[in-house]
Amino acid sequence: MPQLTYNTVIIDPEKLRAFTGDVLTRQGVPPDDAGYVAWHLVETNLRGTDSHGVARLPHYVRRLQAGSIHPKPIMDFQRRAPSLGVLDGGHGLGHIVMRRAADYCISLARETGAGWVAVRNSSHCGALAPFALKLAESDMVAIVFTHVDPMVLPYGAIEPFCGTNPICLAAPGKDGRTLCLDMATSIVPWNVVANAAREGSKIPEGWAVDGDGCGTTDPKRVAALFPFGEHKGSGLGILIDVLCALLSGAPYGPDIPKMYGDLNQHRCLGGLIGAIHISAMTDATTFTQRVAEMAKRLSQLRPAPGVGRVQFPGEPELEVRSQRLREGIPVGVQELDELNALANELNLPRLHAMSRGESHA
């Protein structure tokens, strides 16, 4: 995916995590939950997925203040079959709801060999990789889906129907070679466009259309995104909406309240998390060794011109994470202004850029 460029400053990851947790606790989120969401957002930044990291914090705060996200949700889990359950998220922060669903998946899978939990009445849950990697760390193969409001063009249409509807798959590998694919079914995640709009950066041609269905490079005029792979991404996104909405009773596509619409309205988002207990299928040690072997063999393939080395799914994120742990997290200057506006509003210490040459390690 092409990388957008705009002016950034470097923030210490630990200070960013502490700041995020403090902001959320000031909104009535219990400390343990606030700490998890802060970890999830900063971990997402560390992995290079800045579209779903701390940049979304001001939006979550506004929804908490408006009451459409409940700081202390009452969740209800109903087991429907030996390996199946449904979790009502009580309109809580999506990160907490999906983490709870992942916990139930692990419990079901350890008991029966597999676990599937459908989610309803959630909110935006950020990147999916942290949930899938949690399952992988528990010796599970992970399958995670979520959906959002309509912002992607079905193939052949000039108006949106489904959301960017991502999928994440993870398989644990020995020696850190866990395979993890976390991707939107749109050509680019919507929040990449949202970040570009905030920072005043144009987007490439071929990503999006305006309200008239005409291509645009102005992120502030974007009405819908193209799916990846034309009909392939389009079809996958629609079927993910089926999995996330129709199994749990959540709204789908055009019926989902918009993320950046009425802040007083619950999002009512759905999701689906699946876990396969590796030990129920095969020897777990052998499995993780074979995954690592697969990753190694991928790296030994002859690279195409201009490519340094072939990488396994999830390896680029691991490399970015290692670098950002050492050097800090780049944050857009407008994003920093928004975060510090929250600091002023909540009487918290402001975030400051790391000095040039300063190392977090």
The 10s digit of each residue's pLDDT in 153-210 is 999 999 999 999 999 999 999 999 999 999 999 999 888 998 899 899 999 999 999 9
User: From the centroid of its chain, how far is CA 178?
Assistant: 18
Query: What is the DSSP code (8-state) at residue 205?
Result: T
Average pLDDT over residues 103-118: 98
The β-bridge relationship of strands 140-146 and 167-171 is antiparallel
Averaged pLDDT of the chain: 95
Q: Does residue 359 carry a pLDDT above 80?
A: no
Q: Tell me the pLDDT band of 358, cut-offs 50, 70 and 90.
A: low
| Fold of the domain spanning 1-66+328-361 | Hypothetical Oxidoreductase Yiak; Chain: A, domain 1 (1.10.1530)
Side-chain-side CA neighbours of 51 within 13 Å: the count stands at: 19
In this structure, what token pair is assigned to residue 281? 């299928």
Q: Alpha helices, DSSP H only, in the chain?
A: 13-25, 31-46, 57-66, 94-112, 129-137, 190-199, 231-241, 284-299, 315-327, 333-346
Identify whether the C-beta of residue 130 lies closer than 8 Å to the C-beta of residue 40.
Answer: yes
Q: Does residue 110 carry a pLDDT above 50?
A: yes
Domain edges within the chain: 1-66+328-361, 74-187+226-314
Owner of token pair 């866990």: 178
Q: What is the pLDDT of residue 217?
A: 95
Gap between the Cα atoms of 318 and 316, Å rounded: 5
Side-chain-side CA neighbours of 171 within 13 Å: the count stands at: 17
- Report the range of poorest mean pLDDT among 19-28, 96-105, 144-153, 183-192: 183-192
**Percentage with pLDDT > 90 across the chain:** 94
Q: Does residue 357 carry a pLDDT above 70?
A: no
The 10s digit of each residue's pLDDT in 208-224 is 999 999 999 999 999 99
CB within 8 Å of 3: residues ≥ 6 apart: none
The β-bridge relationship of strands 208-209 and 224-225 is antiparallel
Owner of token pair 């920072």: 199
How distant, in Å, are the alpha carbons of 49, 62, 88, 214, 226 from that of 208? 20, 27, 34, 8, 6
Gap between the Cα atoms of 196 and 3, Å rounded: 11
**Percentage with pLDDT > 70 across the chain:** 97
Q: Strand, coil or helix: what is 101?
A: helix
Q: Tell me the pLDDT band of 361, cut-offs 50, 70 and 90.
A: very low
Q: What is the pLDDT of residue 6?
A: 80
Residue 26 amino acid letter: R
DSSP string for residues in 44-99: HHHTT-GGGSGGGHHHHHHHHHHTSSBSS---EEEEEETTEEEEE-TTB-HHHHHH
Q: What is the pLDDT of residue 339?
A: 98
The 10s digit of each residue's pLDDT in 117-166 is 999 999 999 999 999 999 999 999 999 999 999 999 999 999 999 999 99
| Fold of the domain spanning 74-187+226-314 | Ribosomal Protein S8; Chain: A, domain 1 (3.30.1370)
Q: What are phi and psi of 291, to 5 degrees?
A: -60, -45
Q: Does residue 14 carry a pLDDT above 90?
A: yes
